[in-house]
Each structure stands twice: as C-alpha cells, then as structure tokens.
Amino acid sequence: MKQIVEELLKADIGTVLENEPLANHTTWKIGGPADIFIQPRDKYGLASAMKIVYKYKLPWRVIGKGSNLLVQDKGIRGIVFKLADGLDHLRFEDDVVHVGAGYSFIRLSVMAGKEGLTGLEFAGGIPGSVGGAVYMNAGAHGSELSRIFKSAEVLTETGELVEYLHEDMKFSYRHSILQETGGLVVSAVLQLAHGNRKEIADSMASFKDRRRATQPLQLPCAGSVFRNPLPDHAGRLIEAAGLKGYCIGDAQVSEKHANFIVNRGRATAQDVLMLIDYIQKEIAERYKVQLVPEVEVVGEG
C-alpha cells in the first residue's frame, strides 16, 4: 500500500489518508478504517486517482455524506472515495439543474425551491449527496429521482468520464444500473419545472415539519433501514410487532419511527446487523413478510 499512497500523493489529487476511521464519515457514526481514504479536489483529481486504482487492480467504493450506509467494524479494504468539496457545484439554467455529486440532496431541494422550481420537494428529508441519490434512485413522498433525471457524468472503473442518459440508468425502486456495473457519479443534470414559490415553500415546510415530528434526528442514524413492502410500510409492521425501543447493544429501534435504528452512543456495526436480523425474523414469523434492508452494508465484520 505504501507505493500506492506515494503515487497518489505525487499525483496531487487531493486528500489521501491511510487507515482513516469511517465512523468519522457516516451518519450512523459507525465503521472501521479504510485502507486508503481519498477526498479528491475535483473531478480531474478523481479521474487521476481512479486510473491509479485501476492500475493496481484495487477494490474501491465511494461514499458521499455517508447516509444509507453501514460500514462493518473491521472497515473497508482497498480505496474509499469521499465526494465532497470540489464536487459540490450547483448551476441553474432556466428549469434545468447542473449539480455535482458531492452536493447535499437536502440543500439542493432548498435551493431549487428558492429558484421557484418544483420537482425536488420530496428530497427535503433525504440525507446524503446527489451522487448517492442517483446511484440509489432515492425517493420519498411518492416521488423519486428518476422522475427528474436527465443525465449524469459517470467515472468508469478505468478512469474515463462518460455520459449516462435516462434510458441508460435502468431505474427501478431504489435501484440504478450503476449498482450492477460499477461506475461513480460525478455530476447530474436534472429537469425541473417552474412553479409557485409559495406553494413550493409550503410543501417543503410541511415535509420538514413531518420529518421533525416523526424522525429521530437528534441521534445518529442512516435513514430508513428497510424498504417498504408495498402497499404496507416497514415502520408500521415493526411498531405493530412491539419492537419500538428494542435494543441490541447501543443499537436501538427508534422510539419515534420504527423503521429507523439509532446509535445511542457506542453501537457497533455488529449490533446493528444483529438488530436488523432480529427484526426480520420477528416480522417474518408474525406477518409472513420478508423485510429487505434499504441500507447498504459494506466492509469486513
């Protein structure tokens, strides 16, 4: 790894750290170290880094804001890219949005509303980055990113920048083609529509009030843990099973919203995984429903 780190540093791509604890970079505040942690200064630094990674055939993954992600306790072997400063540009062209993968998805919804553009109100309660939202086809309140997506600039595993159009992404519920083929979202182009500023603001305020009233925002969490088994809701089933407040270690089913698991201070990834498994078994036994996790589990346990 020493030779690789030296080559990355020589390429002057941005921040390069060894054995960086990923608990510092996830919303759950959980996760072991990354062998090599890279925060590129811009897309060109990212592309240069990817070419070095490809040269050495190293495994890699990307994180944005670290939401919707459970990093196991022994961490991640290989490379972890964090997209943040330098990949967080934002530009409006009439009703079209050009935005970097590192930009906050929540903040994007706020900025679009200030521009009088509608279509992103649903994003007001979704933590994470734009890149992660594209990768996961993030959604809420009956809408999802695929409805406004036009195109994305994607970095391939060989370090080439290519354009993906809507039809290339193969969007479905919480899914895009990138989950199968690899590739890293660098930026996205979204198609919004002109709307009434007051109506947009009222809608977003309503979602925000609902989020504050129902979600455990005061404790580290990763967003919804399970996909909704439509037409039902995972939170309703878990609450009906009497599991609100149930703990394994410092991982707890939120007393505010049953589809959230919170870190009460010292939760490990193993605590969370055991709690997820327990919930799945209880719901399957009681209601014959198999809950599917929405959070992505990565690394070594």
For 15-34, write each residue's pLDDT tens digit: 999 999 999 999 999 999 99
Residue pair 59/78 in contact (Cβ under 8 Å)? The answer is: yes
Catalytic residue, from 146, 174, 187, 254: name it: 174
Rounded distance between C-alpha atoms, residue 178 and residue 159, angstroms:
15
Residue 140's Cα: distance from chain center in Å? 14
* Residue 147 annotated in active site: no
- Has residue 68 got a pLDDT over 90? no
Residue that has been written with the tokens 């521009």 in this structure: 115
More confidently predicted of 239 and 215:
239
224 is catalytic: yes
How, if at all, do strands 139-140 and 117-118 pair?
Answer: unpaired
Residue 265: exposure state from Cβ atoms within 10 A (0-12, 13-18, ≥19): exposed
Look at residue 258 and tell me whether its pLDDT is greater than 90.
Answer: yes
Domains 2-82 and 90-200 belong to one CATH topology: no
- Is 174 part of the annotated catalytic residue set? yes
8 Å CB contact between 97 and 190: yes
pLDDT tier at 196, thresholds 50, 70, 90: very high
Q: Which of 176, 203, 224, 254 is catalytic?
A: 224
Task: Show me where the domains of the chain are located.
Answer: 2-82, 90-200, 216-298
Domain 2-82 indexed as CATH 3.30.43.10: yes
The DSSP 8-state label assigned to residue 25 in this structure reads: G
CATH architecture of 216-298: Alpha-Beta Complex (3.90)
Contacts of 295 (CB under 8 A, 6+ apart): 68, 69, 70, 222, 223, 225
Q: How far is CA 135 from CA 4, 190, 225, in A?
A: 28, 14, 17
Q: Which CATH architecture has domain 90-200?
A: 2-Layer Sandwich (3.30)
List the catalytic residue out of 20, 144, 153, 294. 294
Among 5-14, 72-81, 196-205, the minimum mean pLDDT is found in 196-205
* pLDDT digit string, tens, across residues 122-136: 998 788 899 999 999
**Model's pTM, two decimal places?**
0.88
DSSP string, 149-180: EEEEEEE-TTS-EEEEEHHHH--BTTB-THHH
